[in-house]
Structure 1
Amino acid sequence: MSVTIQDRLQFLQPLAQSGLFTQIQRGLEKEGLRITPDAELAQSPHPERLGSTLTHPHITTDYSEALLEFITPVSTRLDDTLDFLKDLHRFSYQNMDEELIWPASMPCRLHGNDSIPIAQYGTSNSGTMKSVYRQGLSWRYGRIMQSIAGLHYNFSMPEQLWPALQHLQKNDQPMQDFMSEQYFALIRNFRRYSWLLLYLFGASPTVDKSFVEDREHPLEKLDDDTFYLPYATSLRMSGLGYQNNVQASLKICFNSLENYVTTLTHAINTPHADYEAIGVKADNEYRQLNTNILQIENEYYSDIRPKRVARSGERPSQALTERGVEYIEVRCIDLNPFESTGLNKTQARFVDTFLVFCLLENSPQIPDDECLMLEDNHSAIVNEGRKPGLMLNTPDGAISREDWSHQLFDQLIPVAQLLDQGLDNPEHQQALEVYRQSIDQPEKTPSAQVLAGVRKAGSFTQFSLELARQQARELKQEQINKARNALFSQLTDSSIQQQKDIEQADNISFDQFLEEYMAAQKQHS
């Protein structure tokens, strides 16, 4: 007889009472565009007082020189993680002069592809490689798509959980293989049910008109400067945002670690005709790292990824193959523009509950027809998730978004109860109560609140700018933790020195460096 989620919940009660689930580890990566006081994308270099983007562990840039990325340390204490993230914002505002941090996922007013400066990481070979990779993304997908910001939620279960689950399931695999298999089970269920996160937390129903200028799109005009879809939740996660037809052909449905690594490895070693037409180099300047489907593995866009901290010189999939899955990275969460850090504690408690449910619920493999069904559900939710009576598909037939949401919330309740056993207050259950209201009252979702705010302000740009100014005022007035302030100041200086040391240590040309890197990438495939 197979083990059910009820069996797992019951079995884990004693461990929960002893505080096991207070040891869940999480870390956040939050992006945000630097803008001028009048909502133009900053053209200035990354502020030197924030340190080196190549070597600073907590403040760097993502695609663009103007796209800040804040990275928290891994911690078991959610309050510490959120406080650290807020202090990164406070410290940045102390060192950014008059610039602001754009609070929305979809970008501010843009002036075409060339108005988005590619991130620079100094003159070292490793720094040059990071910039050339981004140059490749520009040629392949355009820079406008790369100016979108989001929040990545890194999550891992306590080590003590795995032997307990393995004992319950009478599984005799090596522990590393068992853990990887369980994380992939979580990922498959995440793909089945993540439409719920997109509905509850999607906050990008509108875009500035400059985002869709000179391209075909399905959006409607909201005002002179704004386009939208009436029932959209997350245009960031729609075909307008992170999507790519070449990558869509990869068909990664996360049925096993081996399948995942094999597919990615194939993609980073297989040339693609369109990218060959671009060329690697022209007029002695690099356009991309190579002409393959993926330049490197990070180019693969997915709303969730299995992860393992890689060692120096090690590819991500090589680390996964050799040492198994260590944590998962959730990538489909829009910035909450009403929160200066992009996420609040109640949201985090809900995400934790959702992810533990995905782990404990049985998770059969995903056949190709279900894979297509999941993509259709994803598309329906991001484009018209708030539409009354919207129907979604399951292997057992169609169901309304409202009915399925209530069913899932009912299934989440015992998981929230399990997680709350180690806390003073029932925070996970309270999070469920807060967000259940949004099921039948779509006007309570962030996407509806953003849309209402945009209508009131007169445009998406004006709405977001007012929030940015308000958040900047608050963050500048708030006290930063003294120890963290000292740490960030020290990291500014030490990261700049580290970058200089790396640059001075280089003893081969970038051409040779790249050739050796690509040879190693192929060798480990």
Structure 2
Amino acid sequence: MSELLSTLIERLSGPASQGRFSRLRRGIEKEGLRVDGGGHIAQTPHPEDFGSKLTHPHVTTDYSEALLEYITPVYSRPEDAVEFMADLHRFSYRRLNAELIWPASMPARLEGNDSVPIADYGASNVGRMKHVYRKGLDVRYGRIMQSIAGVHYNVSLPDDFWSLLKELEGDDTSSMQDYRSSRYFDLIRNFRRHSWLLLYLFGASPAVDRSFLPDGRVPEGLQPHAEQTLVAPYATSLRMSGLGYQNKVQEQLKICFNSLSNYVNTLRHAISTPWPDYAAMGVHLGGNDWQQLNDNILQIENEYYSDIRPKRVARHDETPSQALEARGVEYIEVRCLDLDPFDPLGFDATRSRFVDTFLMWCLLNESPWISDEECEHLDDNRRLVVSRGRDPELRLDHHGRKRSIAEWGHDIFAELREVATLLDRLEEGAPHAEALAELTPWLDEPGLTPSGRLLARLEERDEEFVEATLALAREQAAQLRAEPVESARAALFDQLVETSFQQQSEIEAGESQSFATFLADYFERARESRALTPLWAKGGQS
């Protein structure tokens, strides 16, 4: 254990026992395709009984009209977030009729690119912008890639924790905003160094239906299984591999999260720099026909793919990076988590407690800036784990030394146990330590991981990926339909259906700009810096 980590844990333990800082806070976003009874992606519109996907705070869509996205409020107890997510599923299943929620990250049976319907958010300018952005993703990358689902895990540390940590570290010169942002970037860099561990533990996509590859070409590393399934024997997460959210154009951005200013400036450059191939596709084809929002490297900042992002809730006149510039990092979003097909929600409180412990460990450890050379090694480690993470012969690069996942993982777990003990001082019992104890055997037994379990099921039963996942979906649907929704929450969900449609109608009725003018104004504002100017730079005004 590093001296810094040991010292900080020791110095935080007393205040934790005294309740001088609060628990971590998290919110969960979970995607899931709607499918029909035969395991095909649904062609039906987003159910009206769910409310407006433009304005509903908890039930919306991601890329596709068929790709549900559930969003919990922020909670200080993981169990509360998981229970809210469960009630969203129970609520949905009372309105889905014969359709099912696909429990895997890799999609159900597809019928080519056009079988993935693009989400439509109505006639308002903001709704049209969301739709045209998705059309742009189609022409740039295709729709099939956008049918992949996952879990996004949003975590923040409380203000009283940051105040205490700043005091313990003896930082009396930085503003709280700058200190917090800098330390969040420390966390992010260590996350990038070690996110391979999450990919190994929670990757759950070692197989895919052949319809995901409509051109019929089988990429290197995939093998046929049964008639319609392709598998990678040691893969953990094909979702995070070259088959999933990868983009050659974006690789040139080289974002390694060394500072907030570098991150923001790189994104701003990407949303204002044309790319020749995208320009050739066209943007505004005339009238109401828009091919994409613009021809730049990124249409908007959300197009940047990363396994983790610094975030802040943006105001109505801000882009995400402008919000970060103006008020600093508020929370981080972990984006590398597959859906666990064996769990009705794709995620559970044990995973939540582990990820919380892992993130705190990333924060409290030393975190030097990442060089270009190290950045390449980190990318190589991630690529190896997603494609061969359960291979007993696999070795990862650790400062020039080749190490197995089990060896390196046990070293990390030993330090995580100390962090878990610290976090458990805020709890009744020892839920973080228990989460680690539950997952520790997975380091030596890859078959216990979700990817290992899914592949074993396919092999032992000689099942197709779609048939196995469809059977799990039916079992989970029966379970969730039979469980009651908490009464107050059921009333809230019913009310939100009505109010979300009302809010969408008010937005549409209040439009005064043309869509072209709306977009031009948006991108003009997006190029502005919102960094705070020191008083001395304004001529000494007080």
What's the secondary structure of 1:242's corresponding residue? coil
Matches within 5 A, 1:473-512: 473-512=478-517
**Alpha-carbon contact 2:22-2:160 (below 8 Å) kept:** no
Structure 2: distance between partners of 1:383 and 1:140: 25
What's the secondary structure of 1:239's corresponding residue? coil
Question: Which residue matches 2:47?
Answer: 47
**Correspondence for 1:277 among 266, 275, 280:** 280
What's the secondary structure of 2:305's corresponding residue? coil
What's the secondary structure of 1:309's corresponding residue? coil
Question: Which residue matches 1:156?
Answer: 156
Check if 1:166 corresponds to 2:161.
no
Deviation at 1:524, TM superposition (A): 3.9
Structure 2: distance between partners of 1:90 and 1:457: 31
Instruction: Name the amino acid aligned to 1:46.
Output: H
Instruction: Name the amino acid aligned to 1:286.
Output: W
List, as ranges, runs of 4+ consecutive aligned residues in structure 1 with deviation greater than 4 Å: none
CA deviations over 1:253-293 (Å, ceiling 9, x no partner): 00000110011010000000010000102254101000000
Check if 1:368 corresponds to 2:372.
yes
**Alpha-carbon contact 1:125-1:513 (below 8 Å) kept:** yes
Structure 2: distance between partners of 1:3 and 1:292: 45
Structure 2: distance between partners of 1:48 and 1:321: 38
CA deviations over 1:210-251 (Å, ceiling 9, x no partner): 112314512111121100110000000001100000001100
Matches within 5 A, 1:152-231: 152-171=152-171, 172-214=173-215, 215=217, 217-218=219-220, 219-231=222-234
Instruction: Name the amino acid aligned to 1:515.
Output: A
Question: Which residue matches 1:334?
Answer: 338
Matches within 5 A, 1:353-364: 353-364=357-368
Structure 1: distance between partners of 2:196 and 2:21: 25
CA deviations over 1:130-166 (Å, ceiling 9, x no partner): 0000000000010000000000000011211112111
Percent identity between the two aligned chains: 55
The total of aligned residue pairs comes to: 524
Instruction: Name the amino acid aligned to 1:246.
Output: V
TM-score, normalised on structure 2?
0.95
Change (3 A) 1:20 1:26: farther
CA deviations over 1:303-336 (Å, ceiling 9, x no partner): 0000000001211000001100000000000001
Check if 1:264 corresponds to 2:274.
no
**Alpha-carbon contact 2:271-2:297 (below 8 Å) kept:** yes
Question: Which residue matches 1:233?
Answer: 236
**Correspondence for 2:355 among 351, 371, 375:** 351
CA deviations over 1:38-61 (Å, ceiling 9, x no partner): 111110000000000000000000
Instruction: Name the amino acid aligned to 2:157.
Output: M
Check if 1:520 corresponds to 2:525.
yes
Structure 2: distance between partners of 1:18 and 1:460: 51
Structure 2: distance between partners of 1:404 and 1:397: 11
**Alpha-carbon contact 2:66-2:119 (below 8 Å) kept:** yes
CA deviations over 1:168-206 (Å, ceiling 9, x no partner): 221121110000000000000000011000000000000
Q: How big is the alpha-carbon RMSD for the aligned residues of Structure 1 and Structure 2?
A: 1.2
**Correspondence for 1:438 among 442, 446, 449:** 442
Instruction: Name the amino acid aligned to 1:512.
Output: T
**Correspondence for 1:459 among 460, 464, 472:** 464
Change (3 A) 1:47 1:457: farther
Question: Which residue matches 1:413?
Answer: 417
Deviation at 1:21, TM superposition (A): 6.3
Structure 2 unpaired stretches of 5+: 531-542
Deviation at 1:454, TM superposition (A): 2.2
Structure 2: distance between partners of 1:50 and 1:41: 18
**Alpha-carbon contact 1:457-1:463 (below 8 Å) kept:** no
Question: Which residue matches 2:537?
Answer: none
Matches within 5 A, 1:115-126: 115-126=115-126
Deviation at 1:489, TM superposition (A): 0.3
CA deviations over 1:427-477 (Å, ceiling 9, x no partner): 111111111101111111110101112232610000100000000001000
CA deviations over 1:32-81 (Å, ceiling 9, x no partner): 00000111111000000000000000000000000000000011122211
What's the secondary structure of 1:164's corresponding residue? helix
The range that moved more, 234-243 or 506-515, is 506-515
Structure 2: distance between partners of 1:522 and 1:151: 30
Question: Which residue matches 2:536?
Answer: none
TM-score, normalised on structure 1?
0.98
**Alpha-carbon contact 1:17-1:422 (below 8 Å) kept:** yes
Question: Which residue matches 1:311?
Answer: 315
Question: Which residue matches 2:15?
Answer: 15
Instruction: Name the amino acid aligned to 1:252.
Output: I
Deviation at 1:7, TM superposition (A): 0.8
**Alpha-carbon contact 2:23-2:426 (below 8 Å) kept:** no
What's the secondary structure of 1:523's corresponding residue? coil
Structure 2: distance between partners of 1:359 and 1:484: 35
**Alpha-carbon contact 2:55-2:504 (below 8 Å) kept:** yes
Structure 2: distance between partners of 1:20 and 1:389: 46
**Alpha-carbon contact 1:389-1:401 (below 8 Å) kept:** no
CA deviations over 1:392-450 (Å, ceiling 9, x no partner): 00224221221101111111110011111122221111111111101111111110101
Change (3 A) 1:21 1:45: farther
**Alpha-carbon contact 1:21-1:419 (below 8 Å) kept:** no
Structure 1 unpaired stretches of 5+: none
Check if 1:139 corresponds to 2:161.
no
Structure 2: distance between partners of 1:77 and 1:407: 28
